[in-house]
Amino acid sequence: MVNRSAVSARKSSSPRPLPLLSQISPRQFAPGLLVALVAGLLLGCAQTPPVTEYTPAAPPAPAAEFTLQLINPRQETSTTTRDFVNILGRTSPDATVRVGDQAASVFATGIFVRDQVPLQPGENRIAIIARAADGRQLERVVTVTRGVEPIADFKPSGDALAIKVESVEPAHDVGLIRGDVLALGFRGTPGQMAEYRLGHSDWQPLPEVRDLVSDQPSGQYRANFVVPAGADSPGQPIQFRLRRAEFAPGDSSASGPTVVEATSRGQVSFWDEAALRLVRVTDEGAALSFGLHEVRLGGPYRAELPAGTLLRVVGQRGDNYRIQLAPGMDGWVSRRDVDWAAPGTPLPHLAFTSISIYGETAADQVVIPYGAPVPFAVTPTTSPGGRAAIEVDFFGAHHAATWLSHRHTARVVREVTVQQVAADHVRVRVELHSRQLWGYQWAVTNNALRISVRRPPLLAPPPASPLQGLTIALEAGHGGPNNWGARGVSGSLEKDINRMAVDELARQFEAAGARIVQVREGDTNPTLAERVHRAIAANADLFISVHANSAGSERGYLRVSGTSTYYKWPFCRDFSAAIHARLLAHTGLDDFGNVGNFNYYPIRANTWMLSMLVEQAFMSNPADEAKMLDPGFRQQMMRAVVLGTQDWLEQIRAEAGR
Ligand SMILES: [Zn+2]
């Protein structure tokens, strides 16, 4: 998805790159929250933090005097290798501005912009003229020198022989067993002869990849090494050498060495696959992922593992262990979240004969005996018949269940089935009566995995608004002195824009009869785990997080704009989509999408209710920013969020009534 890069670059314009998103680990969200929730309900005291008086910074007031200030480029003289420059500055909102021979856009914040002013090679003088409504005029001239592109790293000729050190693979330590494939190689002077070897073994040829388009030597030297049977050796690096090809073009005139060497930073060890290597999860909620990816908000989560889970390690890459879940099925955990199990610890195996299903006041309970600490994954999904379902995958388990005891007190759970999906892989499927799941939680207690499936709230009957009596938890993204979020082009802070939006949203929801819980009050900065905890402790029905987006401005300040919504789990999609549709209809903002499988911690971890996130518009776009700072526009935008929520609830209410 094209938009993805802008989404993940979302906070990068902040002077402090969002400490919270990276600091908070999923493990801080413990299944014990369920216990806290029950305790909170019993005491009737959902904890609300003391309110801190906080008035968000007022929108930057236009200067009293008529001024013309440059923000980009900030200096009167600058250099670039691009063939254009984006001009951004500040003046009076009622002024007109010309940049070069064209009019610039001026916004209510006083910010003016003209993107992609073309540059000729060499010196470019660009005149910027602002004219106030009363005829006063100010002029600035910026000089931008366009230089030539830097020369490519390696020219395809017999130039000085070199291996690009940072390109040498493997860059991280790897542990491999028989049949694994190790990709190794480097980038260097094209058209030469490369070789590699492990430790003191013989040198092996390392072929050069030819460029697919030109069929010229690419300077990429690559090989895939397949680990043979019986390999068992401690970590050692891979050595590479690049020798001058005898008949390389330009060879006669070349000088310098005829061979260069390099060593991989990563050490490669071969593991005997017959040995059993077990690690024990030390941190509650350690993440088990499908694969290794450098994703800003975290990789593709498969599960959060309880402390004590035993995992079989079959490989290593950098700081991660490869885990065998079942034959042919792997996952990855961070080395920081586990310890080696004591020698002689047996590989756990799970088999249970009974499952118990019954109802309690707020939720149905599905209790599965969990007598061996095998890894498992709980995932909300949809059944082929369109009903909501929750799947529990156990690895290192076999199907022995013969006693599924379904009590009459269960209201939302329709059927529980057990299936041996593959060797060592058992799936318990909890199917609901309804199409809509309203939330779930799981906890391991007393050798049992207990899944609480939430019952739907009683929606007020028509003609009353279905919002009446519902509890909605709101998060104003970021907060505090060190967590501003993105920074707007005029200097506004995302935490303030979010605060103002959420206060307006709370007012409108309350006017419609809903009860509001703000998980972040004033300008405080609770951890993301604490925000989730507050929403759950209040037993909210819905969770809405409000942020503002930001994108890189290299190609222009007005290039990326629009409003977008986000959810993690499929059962939150329709709710999120309903708000997205109203935002588009009522704000006139560009469409930046309704985005699924989004890993922002609060909407991923908070499965006890429907959770979604609104990225109002772009702080990095002067037009979007001016709108978000306009109280009238804000009111309209939050109205759209309320109407979208109401649309979705009305649809659910109508379906339930049929
Ligand atoms: Zn944000």
Residue with structure tokens 């030390």? 282
Is there a single domain that holds both residue 467 and residue 612?
Answer: yes
Is there a single domain that holds both residue 249 and residue 368?
Answer: no
- What is the tens place of the pLDDT at every residue in 503-555? 999 999 999 999 999 999 999 999 999 999 999 999 999 999 999 999 999 89
Q: Is 601 helix (H, G, I), strand (E, B) or coil?
A: helix
| Contact partners, residue 279, CB within 8 Å, separation at least 6 | 310, 311, 313, 321, 333, 338, 339, 340, 341
- Report the separation in Å between the CA atom of 217 and the middle of ligand 1, taken as the mean of its atom positions: 45
Q: Name the β-bridge partners of 443.
A: 450
- What is the tens place of the pLDDT at every residue in 96-145? 999 999 999 999 999 999 999 999 999 999 999 999 989 999 999 999 99
- Boundary (domain end) residue, out of 214, 235, 270: 270
Task: Indicate the pLDDT class of residue 477, thresholds 50, 70 and 90.
Answer: very high
- What is the tens place of the pLDDT at every residue in 332-383? 999 999 999 999 999 999 999 999 999 999 999 999 999 999 999 999 999 8
- Boundary (domain end) residue, out of 242, 270, 298: 270
The domain total for the chain is 5
- Domain residues for 287? 278-340
- Boundary (domain end) residue, out of 92, 111, 146: 146
- Report the separation in Å between the CA atom of 386 and the middle of ligand 1, taken as the mean of its atom positions: 34
- Report the separation in Å between the CA atom of 545 and the middle of ligand 1, taken as the mean of its atom positions: 9
- Model's pTM, two decimal places? 0.82
Is there a single domain that holds both residue 212 and residue 284?
Answer: no
- What is the tens place of the pLDDT at every residue in 453-475? 999 999 999 999 999 999 999 99
Domain membership flag for residue 400: no
- What is the tens place of the pLDDT at every residue in 391-427? 999 999 999 988 889 999 999 999 999 999 999 999 9
Q: List the structure tokens of 649.
A: 């609830």
495-509 mean pLDDT: 98
- Report the separation in Å between the CA atom of 442 and the middle of ligand 1, taken as the mean of its atom positions: 28
Domain membership flag for residue 575: yes
Domain membership flag for residue 571: yes
- Report the separation in Å between the CA atom of 549 and the middle of ligand 1, taken as the mean of its atom positions: 6
- Report the separation in Å between the CA atom of 65 and the middle of ligand 1, taken as the mean of its atom positions: 33
Is there a single domain that holds both residue 537 and residue 473?
Answer: yes
Is there a single domain that holds both residue 468 and residue 587?
Answer: yes
- Report the separation in Å between the CA atom of 619 and the middle of ligand 1, taken as the mean of its atom positions: 10
- Report the separation in Å between the CA atom of 565 and the middle of ligand 1, taken as the mean of its atom positions: 12
Is there a single domain that holds both residue 625 and residue 597?
Answer: yes
Across 616-628, b (16+ Cβ under 10 Å) vs e yields bbbbbbbbbbbbb
- Report the separation in Å between the CA atom of 486 and the middle of ligand 1, taken as the mean of its atom positions: 6
Which pLDDT score, from 0 to 100, does residue 407 have?
93
Is there a single domain that holds both residue 577 and residue 634?
Answer: yes
Is there a single domain that holds both residue 217 and residue 170?
Answer: yes
- What is the tens place of the pLDDT at every residue in 281-337? 998 888 898 876 554 555 577 889 999 999 999 999 999 999 999 988 899 999 999
Domain membership flag for residue 15: no
Domain membership flag for residue 417: yes
- Provide the CATH number for the domain around residue 437: 2.60.40.3500
- Report the separation in Å between the CA atom of 4 and the middle of ligand 1, taken as the mean of its atom positions: 15
Is there a single domain that holds both residue 310 and residue 264?
Answer: no
Is there a single domain that holds both residue 572 and residue 636?
Answer: yes
- What is the tens place of the pLDDT at every residue in 589-611? 999 999 998 889 999 999 999 99
- Asked if residue 277 has pLDDT above 80, the reply is yes
The Cα–Cα gap between 68 and 88 comes to 11
Domain membership flag for residue 243: yes
- Asked if residue 205 has pLDDT above 90, the reply is yes
Q: List the structure tokens of 343.
A: 């020698």
- Report the separation in Å between the CA atom of 613 and the middle of ligand 1, taken as the mean of its atom positions: 10
The answer to whether 403 and 397 are in contact (CB under 8 A) is no
Which pLDDT score, from 0 to 100, does residue 7 have?
31
Across all residues in the chain, what is the average pLDDT?
Answer: 87
- Report the separation in Å between the CA atom of 470 and the middle of ligand 1, taken as the mean of its atom positions: 26
| CA-angle at 114, arms to 546 and 108, nearest 5° | 50
Is there a single domain that holds both residue 590 and residue 488?
Answer: yes
Which pLDDT score, from 0 to 100, does residue 29 have?
36
- Report the separation in Å between the CA atom of 578 and the middle of ligand 1, taken as the mean of its atom positions: 21
- Provide the CATH number for the domain around residue 119: 2.60.40.10
The answer to whether 383 and 431 are in contact (CB under 8 A) is yes
Region of 20 on the Ramachandran plot (φ > 0 left; ψ -120 to 50 alpha; else beta): alpha
Is there a single domain that holds both residue 98 and residue 174?
Answer: no
Which pLDDT score, from 0 to 100, does residue 296 have?
52
What is the Cβ-side half-sphere exposure of residue 196, based on CA atoms within 13 angstroms? 23
- Provide the CATH number for the domain around residue 326: 2.30.30.40
- Provide the CATH number for the domain around residue 617: 3.40.630.40
Domain membership flag for residue 137: yes
- Asked if residue 174 has pLDDT above 60, the reply is yes
Domain membership flag for residue 323: yes
- Report the separation in Å between the CA atom of 428 and the middle of ligand 1, taken as the mean of its atom positions: 37
| Contact partners, residue 474, CB within 8 Å, separation at least 6 | 502, 505, 506, 509, 516, 517, 518, 519, 543, 544, 545, 546
The DSSP symbol for 175 reads E
